[in-house]
Structure 1
Amino acid sequence: MDSNVNITDDEDDIMPNLNLEHIKASLEIAESLAKASLMTSPAAKRRLQARKMELGLVDDSAGYIPPKHLLLYLVRMGSFNSAPKIMNEDTQDNDLDLPEDLSKDELLVYCRKELEDTPALVPRKFKTLQNCEAPSIYDKEVSQPQLKLRILQWNLLSQALGQNNDNFVCCPDGALDWRRRKHQMAEEIIKYDPDVICLQEVDHFHYLKRILATQGFQGTFFPKPDSPCMYIKGNNGPDGCAIFYRQDKYELLKTETRVLEVWRVQSNQVAVLVILRDKTSNQEICVATTHLKARNGALLSTLRNEQGKDLLEFVNTHSDGRPVILSGDFNAEPIEPIYNTVLSHDLLKLRSAYCNNAGEPPYTTWKVREEGEVKHTIDYIFFSQNNFKVDSILEFPTGEEIGEGRIPSFSYPSDHFSLVCDLSLIETSNS
């Protein structure tokens, strides 16, 4: 990054041309204030108010809000650099030659043939859940389920970022080759036979659209407004979020997209939402997916929480009382504020599909980068607990099954594992 921050002309009146030292100093102050604002003790709150007064900041009982110039830097972090933007289009898979109609088995055979020198994907199995693992709905008189669906949630790992920016020190270069990865991605998705697919870090949408069309899927894609992929030579266009659904099972009634905001400032993260009507039961459901801001620290945790609030308002507005499924890479562990913000929404009443009496699973991503090994839970499938029950979930592989190099690897194409669950829509006597 240059010593001067590159900004667009329309931001000149808001964001001063700060150098790196000014930014670092501002970030240190902001991080300490954000950390203090997350504390709940009266003494901590008094110290925070005193520090705000010392810095000449307006007191806000809702917590610390970064100044506008710093907020603009934070929401665009990663694209403020000296590299030119390379406006490529999604054309790298135009040579894909596939019949329009393939059975599931035929497509899996095709993928495995293209991967003949590659190990099988990491083994995983489904776990059937007992009623006690979803207690919120069982205090009501429940009728027979009216709709069943399998949803797959997955951060694919952007090809441009994975191959150039993510520093997976234990991953062989060949495992990140798109000619190999794309077939592993298709295999991982297709073999679990989902009805609805929610994806993040999609920068090869046309490939997915074409290969999933052979299985009867239709999809929609929404790119990040300033994707970091666009600053990488040889990119295939911006990354973003996508939702696919089976056309023989669902009718698309509505599609909505949003660039998420934080304190009324547009960020670089997006959300996609669809309203689907089940053709058998005529039941309408709302499915949404997102990918929140990454990086550690109290300041970024606070920013993610604000993105989450905007996301929930967006979902609540367009779901309009319909049952909701909200999935994505939230880049936040269960101890972060955004997790509780999602679960405590008064109207949506969401629950995490993978959370049981022992809590969330120990990891949804497990990778090794230059700074060390990273193993944590940041991906989720949330659902309306008054409308759905979870029948089964796809379990995560053990460390031994994953291997010492973790993921991505020749046995798994992303640094995130897919989440797959079977949901049943329920009707209750007081619904």
Structure 2
Amino acid sequence: MEESNDCAYLREFATTNQCELMFALNLHVEGVGLLQEEVRAVRQVTDTVESLLQHIVNKIRKSVKNLKENAAENSDSDLKVPISLTNGFTENIRGKTVLKNLINSNIGAIRFQIFDQSYFVVINAPLVKEIKLPLILYAHFTVQASKLFCLFTDHSSSQFSWFKSKDKENWTQVATTSKYKIKHDDIDHYLKLVCVPCNSVLTGPSAEAISENKVELIGDLPTCPFEERHKFTSQPSNNNCFRVVSYNVLSNRYTDSADSFPYCPPKFLAIDYRKQLITKELLGYKADVICLQEVDSSVFTTYYKDIFKNAGYMSFYHKKGNKSSEGLACFFNKTRFKKVDDHQIIYSNEIKKKLYTHLWNFVKVNPDLRDLFMRQLTSLHVTVLKLKLAKKSHTLIFGNTHLFYRPEHELVRILQINMATTYLQSLNQNYSQNNSVKVILCGDFNSIPTSAVYDYVANGKLHKNHPVFQNTKNHPILFHNFQFESACGTPTYTNYTENFKNCLDYIFIEKNKLKVNKVVPFPTEEELGNYIGCPNEVYPSDHLALVADLKLAT
């Protein structure tokens, strides 16, 4: 990052109750040389100006001491550091002034002076905290920052520039947008993205990210095992049946760290590669309704939405918690279904409502559980559809969810799934007044077939003495009135990685209203055993798609 030579940046970080003064120091130390350093002085917002200035003095003395040691300069005398914060150009700001009060004041021009260097202090200027490009870049695909975390910034006001280079030294500008469609001419070049963060008032220091690898051509896609599954879906379902798919497609945000799926080469982890396999797989199932989890917002907007629209689907998408970069999506065949409603509820936002009094009375008296539950962004995506061309009116309520993932916190998942069934029951009652209503609950439940979650959904209740409530008080009795069964049963694997292989995903249907006409077979253990785990070159996700033909019960 580059800071302006004559500006120092004072920012408040509300989430940590800290503030930071950042400035570029160029100090000539007699007998030693030049000290060039970006100084970042962090204090609590409740600390004082004199505390901040003393902290800066200590940091500079330490840096100078290290510089002298490296230069074999023997001097034990403490460096005198003239330093001050002034109101305008003359009046010193009182040392006892609390930093938060300084930040919130309307003092106007604040100057920071250290040695003979003077800086204009900019308060809460836009800042790029993190910027990163995808590890793999493919020609003919659109690229954007894989990570871009900013403070005090309006994305739409900020400035973006793309550059390419063969040697990371000589750069040629190729675009001035936040997203860039990589051209064929960019092959064998590195890319650089420069962001100048802005808001309606201020402009912050620029930040840049340079790709680790050069742009390459993706090449032809391989023949994949899911093409064998397509043999069972060569024809669309008929009027009395409809085909449902549930699939966790693995968000790009969970493939970005060094320890994520180390057995999979980066070029096959790249979202521009995987999204093509995912699309090819899904379209080959000729499904009527598709419920997806871990869908990247940017990929849905720039890729899935248009491709499925051209294939005859209408689609809806909701970010997890309305804020995460990944979320839940539903696609449905416009020829067979008409949209009635589509919305999302966020469990942690809803739990205090009257509908969930039985849960909140339990959660609020268990502080650790309450704090953990309320931090989650986990959501339920609901799509209500009307079946066309049927002899009688049929309303289908699809619930799509992705429950909390940590294995040790099954109680959080229990609360989430109880909220899901409670909410779906309420919707069911509303729509049942004039229609025949069927409820289908899809998703990644992060729960194996022997779990309390599966037990609850399949059997309709969970007693207050269940072991999952251990070490808590005021236990509720949880129940629902649906007669649910898993349409695909309990396959050996719906999640297959190097370190975990089991069944986590389900399509739950009301067995008194719907019948399973056909389940598309899963890859065999022998077929999966050819690989350390998924994803890989031919399996685009760590999960497997669930595909079932459902028939209306007469």
* Shorter-chain TM-score tier: 0.5 to 0.7
Match of 2:308 in 1: 212
Structure 1 unmatched ranges of 5 or more: 10-16, 18-81, 97-113, 129-144, 231-237
The question of whether the paired residues in 2 share the 8 Å contact of 1:146 and 1:425 is answered with no
Aligned mates of 2:14, 2:543 — CA distance in 1: 32
Shift of 1:426: 1.1
Match of 1:354 in 2: 488
Match of 2:100 in 1: none
Match of 1:170 in 2: 263
Aligned mates of 2:488, 2:507 — CA distance in 1: 7
Residue type matched to 1:415 in 2?
Answer: D
1:327 aligned to 433, 442, 459, which one? 442
Residue type matched to 1:314 in 2?
Answer: Y
Aligned mates of 1:319, 1:161 — CA distance in 2: 35
Q: Which moved more, 1:160-169 or 1:321-330?
A: 160-169
Q: Could you say which structure has the higher helix fraction? A: 1
What is the identity percentage for the equivalent residue pairs of Structure 1 and Structure 2? 28
> Against the structure 1 CA distance between its residues 226 and 252, is the aligned structure 2 distance closer, same or farther, given a 3 Å change threshold?
closer
Match of 2:494 in 1: 364
> Against the structure 1 CA distance between its residues 6 and 152, is the aligned structure 2 distance closer, same or farther, given a 3 Å change threshold?
farther
Structure 2 unmatched ranges of 5 or more: 1-12, 18-43, 45-128, 131-146, 157-176, 183-216, 233-237, 352-358, 361-372, 461-479
Match of 1:257 in 2: 344
Aligned mates of 2:508, 2:341 — CA distance in 1: 20
Shift of 1:166: 6.0
The question of whether the paired residues in 2 share the 8 Å contact of 1:146 and 1:424 is answered with no
TM-score by length of 2: 0.50
Match of 2:538 in 1: 411
Aligned mates of 2:410, 2:405 — CA distance in 1: 9
Residue type matched to 1:324 in 2?
Answer: V
For 1:35-86, what per-residue CA distance to the aligned partner results, in whole angstroms no more than 9, with x for missing partners? xxxxxxxxxxxxxxxxxxxxxxxxxxxxxxxxxxxxxxxxxxxxxxx97972
The answer to which structure, 1 or 2, has the higher relative contact order (CA under 8 A, 6+ apart) is 1
Give the match's secondary structure for 1:164.
coil
> Against the structure 1 CA distance between its residues 349 and 392, is the aligned structure 2 distance closer, same or farther, given a 3 Å change threshold?
same
For 1:378-399, what per-residue CA distance to the aligned partner results, in whole angstroms no more than 9, with x for missing partners? 0000001111111111212123
Match of 1:86 in 2: 149
Shift of 1:319: 2.6
Give the match's secondary structure for 1:342.
helix
Give the match's secondary structure for 1:311.
helix
The question of whether the paired residues in 2 share the 8 Å contact of 1:251 and 1:279 is answered with yes
Residue type matched to 1:386 in 2?
Answer: N
Residue type matched to 1:117 in 2?
Answer: D
Q: Could you say which structure has the higher strand fraction? A: 2
Alignment of 1:194-233 (within 5 A): 194-203=287-296, 204-206=299-301, 207-225=303-321
TM-score by length of 1: 0.63
Match of 1:159 in 2: 252
For 1:204-261, what per-residue CA distance to the aligned partner results, in whole angstroms no more than 9, with x for missing partners? 211211111111111111112376xx6xxxxxxx101111111111110111311013
Give the match's secondary structure for 2:385.
strand
Shift of 1:180: 1.3
Match of 1:122 in 2: 225
- Aligned residue-pair number: 300
Give the match's secondary structure for 2:386.
strand
Aligned mates of 2:231, 2:397 — CA distance in 1: 25
> Against the structure 1 CA distance between its residues 420 and 382, is the aligned structure 2 distance closer, same or farther, given a 3 Å change threshold?
same
CA RMSD for the aligned pairs?
3.1
The question of whether the paired residues in 2 share the 8 Å contact of 1:198 and 1:289 is answered with yes
Residue type matched to 1:260 in 2?
Answer: Y
The question of whether the paired residues in 1 share the 8 Å contact of 2:394 and 2:438 is answered with no
The question of whether the paired residues in 2 share the 8 Å contact of 1:201 and 1:239 is answered with yes
